[in-house]
Amino acid sequence: MRDFQTSTPTAAPPLYQSVRGEPIDQMGVRMTFARDEELYAQEEDADLVYRVVSGAVRTTCLMSDGRRHVGAFYFAGEFFGMESGDAHRFSAEALCDTVVTVMKRTIAERDVQIERLLWTSTVQELARTHEHLLLLSRMTAVEKVATFLTDMATRQGRPELVFLPMGRQDIADYLGLTIETVSRMIGQLQAEGFIELQDTRHIRVRTRGSLLKRCA
Amino acid sequence: MRDFQTSTPTAAPPLYQSVRGEPIDQMGVRMTFARDEELYAQEEDADLVYRVVSGAVRTTCLMSDGRRHVGAFYFAGEFFGMESGDAHRFSAEALCDTVVTVMKRTIAERDVQIERLLWTSTVQELARTHEHLLLLSRMTAVEKVATFLTDMATRQGRPELVFLPMGRQDIADYLGLTIETVSRMIGQLQAEGFIELQDTRHIRVRTRGSLLKRCA
DNA sequence: CATCTCCTCCGTAGAAACCCTTAGGGGAAA
DNA sequence: TTTCCCCTAAGGGTTTCTACGGAGGAGATG
């Protein structure tokens, strides 16, 4: 976990660094969550917006028959929890020990600068989500896993060594695969020489260019 | 096409009706596009934002090996074309004869009211996109088609008779299926008595409650 | 500190289900 | 007629489902 904590702050875009000269990390109330602790639940009132300071968060959606879907992962510097309606459509949980800042939605919407920041963040998330759509609808299993790994590497700002704060089940539910297929595809990428597993959560990318070819 | 033109304006939320007392339809420059005409292309500069006045628009993404992906459909009252970067990641085409209003992004961002409208619209689209993700990642073929039909019915504001301005290929590329599977599933829903085909583009929903059960 | 057990998570293999590919025919529009 | 799009059917491939075994961590015990 520790190397993850120290690596992610570099991923925060410069845009997010300050508002009115204040470090944006200090905007709102600081809160800490333990691994697997719930930040908010599905159907809960969505009157707060969140921003990751350190650690990582996943949003999940549970269907009535038990099928599970992971909507997104959020890392340091990223906003989440904005909803168009009154209630959260997903629940949010901490992947590891995580610090976030929390702000009332009504307060954020009263400040033009903060609102603009939120809008920029929302458009960025929309773009990421569209990429996710493309991945889910038209990629093969091995392409999904390769794309996921390069995306994680990029967002962590360290293309040669990826740390995965989430388990295999989370990856599977994010990519629309089963846990077995994820394992098989990681094994296949390793057998083909694209990646090397240091342990189950640390993956060394050998030839980034070649791995990108497996991304479709 | 005609019944579609008359039915969609009712789908526009009240929020979009006016800004500063002006009908928002008159914001920006009015443009008309013919069926299958391109509004903008993938990789093109994204310095404009669009809003559908009448008709319908699809956004598509073409992969290098020819695989095709439909990102979204937009109907009267909805904004599209906002990007986080400088370039469009998708191309946009008219599904039928379509009227849109076009506005410079820089102008939109200078007006606080318009900017807020855009943000609201973006958050709504993000929510719709998250629903689309859930559909693609964890639904079966028949659930995808059933969900698609109920979504179209809802957005057209006429739950009992759905008009599909897009072809089967567009539906398939939107749902991550093949055209044959879409046909089979529509046939299956018809055989099970949930829907009835008037012609290939007009579908009568017999028992909405039952169809919703097929949506997972 | 070593060892044991429990528990969770990860990896592998075979069978089965699901969906896609391929091929062919029909109907509407140009 | 020609062309394009849609529907149907059969075979094959990819992914999932089911089942089993191994690795590693947490906690209890001596």
CB-CB contact of B135 with A133 (8 Å): no
Query: Measured in Å, how far apart are chain B's first and last C-alpha atoms?
Result: 31
Hey, what amino acid is at A168?
R
Q: Which pLDDT does position B6 carry in this prediction?
A: 31
Say yes or no: B22 and B92 in one domain: yes
State how far the Cα of B130 lies from the Cα of B140, in Å rounded to an integer.
Answer: 17
Final residue of a domain: which of A122, A137, A152? A137
Say yes or no: B99 and B156 in one domain: no
The secondary structure of chain B in percent helix, strand, coil, rounded to multiples of 5, reads 40, 30, 30
Stretch among A27-31, A53-57, A145-149, A179-183 having the lowest mean pLDDT: A27-31
Say yes or no: A57 and A81 in one domain: yes
Looking at the structure of chain A, the number of domains it has is: 2
B100: enclosing H helix or E strand: strand B98-104
Q: Which pLDDT does position B208 carry in this prediction?
A: 63
B138 vs A175: CB contact, 8 Å cut-off?
Answer: no
Residue B61 has pLDDT above 60, yes or no: yes
Helix axes B112-138, B141-155, angle to 10 degrees: 150
Of B71, B116, B123, the CB nearest to A133: B71
Final residue of a domain: which of A91, A108, A137? A137
Say yes or no: A156 and A58 in one domain: no
A124 vs B84: CB contact, 8 Å cut-off?
Answer: yes
Q: Which pLDDT does position A26 carry in this prediction?
A: 53
> What's the average model confidence in pLDDT over A161-173?
92
Indicate if CB(A197) is under 7 A from strand C: yes
A177-192 residues labelled b (16+ CB within 10 A) or e (exposed): beeebbbebbebbeee
Say yes or no: A50 and A127 in one domain: yes
Q: What is the Cα B115 distance to its own chain's centre?
A: 22
> What's the average model confidence in pLDDT over B96-117?
87
CB-CB contact of A91 with A42 (8 Å): yes
Say yes or no: B26 and B129 in one domain: yes
Q: For A119, name the nearest residue in chain B, comparing CA atoms only.
A: B119
Q: Which pair of tokens denotes residue A54? A: 């350190």
Q: What CATH number is attached to the domain comprising A113?
A: 2.60.120.10
Q: Which pLDDT does position B26 carry in this prediction?
A: 54
Residue B167 has pLDDT above 60, yes or no: yes
Say yes or no: A97 and A171 in one domain: no
Say yes or no: B32 and B124 in one domain: yes
User: By residue range, what is the domain housing residue A164?
Assistant: 139-213
Say yes or no: B121 and B174 in one domain: no
Say yes or no: B107 and B62 in one domain: yes
State how far the Cα of B105 lies from the Cα of B176, in Å rounded to an integer.
Answer: 32
Q: Which pLDDT does position A210 carry in this prediction?
A: 67
Say yes or no: A125 and A164 in one domain: no
Of A84, A123, A176, the CB nearest to B137: A176
Q: What CATH number is attached to the domain comprising B170?
A: 1.10.10.10
B78-92 pLDDT, tens digit per residue, is 999 999 899 999 999
Q: Which pair of tokens denotes residue B191? A: 């055989």
Q: Nucleotides of chain C within 7 Å of a protein C-beta? A: 9-14, 18-23
A193 vs A9, higher pLDDT: A193
Final residue of a domain: which of B137, B156, B190? B137
A55-102 pLDDT, tens digit per residue, is 999 999 988 888 899 999 999 999 999 998 999 999 999 999 899 999
Say yes or no: B104 and B29 in one domain: yes
B176 vs A137: CB contact, 8 Å cut-off?
Answer: yes
Kind of pairing between the strands at B91-94 and B79-80: unpaired
